[in-house]
Amino acid sequence: TDKLFAPDSSGEVKLGAGSISVSSFDVQINKMAAAVDVPGVLKGGGGVELAQSPASGTTPAGTTVAGDLDLSLVPLDLRIYGGIKVFSSADLQALYAYLGVEFAPGIPLGNPGAAIFGFLGLIGVNMGRSDNDALHWFVDLPPAGDVTNTSKWVPRRGNWAFGVGTVVGTAY
């Protein structure tokens, strides 16, 4: 045979005086990420993760799929970002998603010199904060000050979340 490593009839691969026996081989990929950088045109990246979650408190064991994306269109000075988290078990389905857009120049807000530079929103169905103490959840859990990060949201039967926001700054 012209293969570098080929098993014999017993399933063993011979390497010099030793041998390796492989009875089963399992490969799992549970997280992937990609990035793009086209100078002066496009920059960003994203990822997706698949996880089996054990039962915890009132949340049953299930499968979680989470992903995020952050892209900047450099010539337009436009950034679009978002994420999603989906949980599924035999008796509970949950969804969390967020989307944001930032741009420049901003949309002027009359004469005071302020402008809107972006919008964002989130929705959660059967999803709740990962910590019941809202201040601790917002300030202390990483990433601090970020309410949209998918890691800060967990499946919770009967919980709903809705949020909208805007990015406001000076126009000058």
149-160 pLDDT, tens digit per residue, is 999 999 999 999
Residues ≥6 apart with Cβ < 8 Å to 33: 45, 46, 47, 48
pLDDT of residue 3: 53
pLDDT of residue 1: 45
Indicate the burial class of 32 (C-beta count within 10 angstroms; 0-12, 13-18, 19 or more).
Answer: exposed
User: What are the pLDDT digits (tens) for 23-81?
Assistant: 677 777 788 999 999 999 999 999 999 999 888 877 889 999 999 999 999 999 999 99
Mean pLDDT of 85-114: 92
Alpha helices in 9-150 (DSSP H): 134-139
